[in-house]
Structure 1
Amino acid sequence: MLQSMTSRPPASDALRQGASTDEQTTPAFTAREFRNAMGQFATGVVVISTEIGGEPHAMTANAFMSGSLEPPLVLVSVACTARMHEKIRNAGMFGISVLAHGQDDISQHFAGKPSERYAPVFERVGGVPVIEGAAVRLAAQLRHAYPCGDHTLFVGEVHEMFTHTDAPQPLLFHAGRYGRLAESN
């Protein structure tokens, strides 16, 4: 069943021509309904990390993507209310650990749901802490921070990166649950 929830009329001619508008409309859906809808897009899972005063700080996220190949840029979206938000700004650099299937405990731990089965183990890459054993571990220098509603898009230039040679299956997240790729024949 297809359900329509419209938030605003089509863009005006001024907006199509690049002019900005401060006009805001109230959507016909709640923030939770929007979150559930966006959860239908399957993503990978990363741990964003940084260090302040010699102490590592990390959080789980799924709003991550590559932004450019030359220079090598990555983007993460962090809620303005998250403790990590100001830590990234203050540190000026951050690490990304791309989690592999089976690293659910790590994801849960840094999402604020620690388990007795997992104790964080960090290694250093390019001057920042990253998760030991993650499928991809990279270090990025903060280059830009763009306000994006109740989040900020942090753009970092990658200056060091390590990957697993066996390319493990990714840890996937869809509709509020972890998943995995189907085995190919």
Structure 2
Amino acid sequence: MMDDRLFRSTMGKFATGVTVITTEVDGKAHGMTANAFMSVSLNPKLVLISIGEKARMLDRIHQSGTFAVNILSAEQKEVSMLFAGQIKEEKKVEFEYIQGVPTVKGALANVVCKVHSSQVAGDHTLFIGEVQDIVLQDGTPLTFFEGKYGRLAEEQLI
């Protein structure tokens, strides 16, 4: 049987961007850091997120039927750490609302979705979201590789 640590270490070799998934339930905004995000389809415009069975966000997305994927900029490492539970002290987070869904202010992109479908896969639920709206900004993305935050190297002019 394959060792869990080997599997996690191997998956950590895939460099990703960092997102915060947000939703609203009973008038309260909620968020969680995630790097399991991908585009699925252009027509219709669909994206996929993967939420662990122990995450509080799982029931919240089932309840709300909506979520936003907020692609973080290199300057938003603290935002990621906050929503990953790595920062324990209370910090006020400013949300902006797009079509009634809370989004992270200053993110490179806010992708607002309604749940199109969901599928339980092992110890996670895959939510496919139909994109309702997008807000896009220029900037450098926050990256994640081998369990560490980073940023893309600046392009060298030749």
TM more than 0.5: yes
Which amino acid in the other structure matches residue 4 of structure 2? A
The SS at the match of 1:146 is strand
- CA drift at 1:127: 1.3
- Measure the CA separation in 2 of the matches of 1:106 and 1:115: 12
- Measure the CA separation in 1 of the matches of 2:9 and 2:95: 32
- Structure 2 partner of 1:132: 105
Deviations 1:7-56 (A, max 9, x none): xxxxxxxxxxxxxxxxxxxx2x3222211110110000000011110001
- Measure the CA separation in 2 of the matches of 1:38 and 1:152: 18
Alignment map for 1:104-183 (pairs within 5 Å): 104-114=77-87, 119-164=92-137, 167-183=138-154
- Measure the CA separation in 2 of the matches of 1:91 and 1:130: 14
Alignment map for 1:37-116 (pairs within 5 Å): 37-114=10-87
Does the 8 Å contact 1:106/1:118 carry over to 2? no
Larger radius of gyration: 1
**Percent of aligned positions that are identical:** 45
Alignment map for 1:24-39 (pairs within 5 Å): 27=1, 29-39=2-12
- CA drift at 1:176: 0.4
Greater relative contact order structure (CA < 8 Å, 6+ sep): 2
CA RMSD of aligned residues (A): 1.4
- CA drift at 1:125: 1.0
- CA drift at 1:182: 1.3
TM-score (structure 2 length as normaliser):
0.94
Report runs of 4+ in structure 1 exceeding 2 Å deviation: 114-119
Does the 8 Å contact 1:71/1:157 carry over to 2? yes
Q: State how many pairs are aligned.
A: 156
Q: Which stretch shifts more, 53-62 or 108-117? A: 108-117
TM-score (structure 1 length as normaliser):
0.81
- Unpaired stretches in structure 1, ≥5 consecutive residues: 1-26
- Measure the CA separation in 2 of the matches of 1:116 and 1:85: 24
- Structure 2 partner of 1:184: 155
Does the 8 Å contact 1:127/1:139 carry over to 2? no
- CA drift at 1:118: 5.2
- CA drift at 1:83: 0.5
